[in-house]
Amino acid sequence: MADQANILRQAISQGLVQAPGAADPLTARLVQRAGFGAIYMTGFGATAARLGMPDIGLMSQTEMTDHARNMVRATSIPVIADADTGYGGLANLARTVEEYAGSGVAAIHLEDQQMPKRCGQRSGVRVIDAEENARRLQAAVKTRGAHPMLLIARTDALPALGVDEAIARANRYRDAGADLVFVDGIKKIAEVEAVARAVPGPKVVSIVDGNETVALKASDLQEMGFAVAFYALSALFTAVRAMAQTLEALKADGTPAGRADAMCSYVEFADLIDLARFDALDHDFG
């Protein structure tokens, strides 16, 4: 599993890695099947899929690492996981790093929000002192030791304190030993451009559906110098709309027949979930 971290490092060295968000292992399989080089285990999506609740710090470390482990098992490409704030003090942070490393993910990101945290795209985000977070990142780096899992330092300072402070924090966190840095909460192309200009080295950008950054193509982001691009919500929002439309049609018409063209077949679904492998076991040894 540690090989996935090295695969991700190699991919980053060759250009932009697009990592669509997956809320669950099934979606992660779809991301892999579509030909992407990495999967982003979004905390927003994980919370919605497991709890049906918002991304406001409700998921525990155990729930998140279990979710990550299942996603890794279901796929064979690198998984980049949301590790929130590390779920507590320095001892909790150290255990978080160890548990995620053991899960087989290729990378995690740790953020500088105050607890309880909230989705970085929302207003009201509060961050801890930058120097305190830099020390936390140094502790995370020490805990990781020789394990190849990448550590991404995320700052949520942009909506709370402005782009200049977010850039300063990103650079401070890089100096603390993070492999990549990530300014979250970006909603405007001008903010993407500002981060690209002022933050040297490997960096992450999150393209969030519903704001103007979706106009930026992968080629644009690579030219700006980004190493990884997250698309955390695209698959989740698409799936929710499609399921809602099918359920509305079933309720209105008394049959789902009118939505047949929007559905995959049983055979296609069985292929996605690798049913043939288990059928072969029954055939050979049952």
pLDDT at 47 over 90: yes
pLDDT at 235: 98
pLDDT at 120: 52
- Strand, helix or coil for residue 40: strand
The answer to whether residue 164 sits within a structural domain is: yes
% of residues, the chain, pLDDT over 70: 97
Residue 91's pLDDT band (cuts 50, 70, 90):
very high
List, for residues 197-219, the tens digit of each pLDDT value: 999 999 999 999 999 999 999 99
Asked if 52 contacts 91 with a C-beta cutoff of 8 angstroms, the reply is: no
Residue 2's pLDDT band (cuts 50, 70, 90):
low
**Average pLDDT for 82-101:** 97
Range(s) of the domain holding residue 162: 2-239
pLDDT at 108: 98
pLDDT at 123: 61
**Average pLDDT for 18-26:** 98
The answer to whether residue 279 sits within a structural domain is: no
List, for residues 150-193, the tens digit of each pLDDT value: 999 999 999 989 999 999 999 999 999 999 999 999 999 999 99
The answer to whether residue 284 sits within a structural domain is: no
pLDDT at 124 over 90: no
pLDDT at 125: 85
Asked if 48 contacts 236 with a C-beta cutoff of 8 angstroms, the reply is: yes
The answer to whether residue 18 sits within a structural domain is: yes
Residue 115's pLDDT band (cuts 50, 70, 90):
confident
Separation CA 107–CA 228 (nearest Å): 11
Instruction: Residue 173: give its domain's CATH number.
Output: 3.20.20.60
Residue 286's pLDDT band (cuts 50, 70, 90):
confident
pLDDT at 87: 96
Q: Which residues pair with 123 in a beta bridge?
A: none
**Average pLDDT for 226-252:** 98
The answer to whether residue 278 sits within a structural domain is: no
Q: Which residues pair with 232 in a beta bridge?
A: none
The answer to whether residue 55 sits within a structural domain is: yes
**Average pLDDT for 278-286:** 94
The answer to whether residue 267 sits within a structural domain is: no
What is the maximum alpha-carbon separation in the chain?
64
Total domains present in the chain: 1
Separation CA 136–CA 153 (nearest Å): 10
What is the overall mean pLDDT for the chain?
96
**pTM of the prediction?**
0.95
For 254, residues 6+ apart whose C-beta sits below 8 A from its C-beta are none
pLDDT at 68 over 80: yes
- Strand, helix or coil for residue 181: strand
Please count the CA atoms within 13 angstroms of the CA of 57 that sit on its side-chain side.
Answer: 15
The answer to whether residue 126 sits within a structural domain is: yes
User: Which amino acid does the sequence have at 283?
Assistant: H
pLDDT at 237: 98
For 255, residues 6+ apart whose C-beta sits below 8 A from its C-beta are none
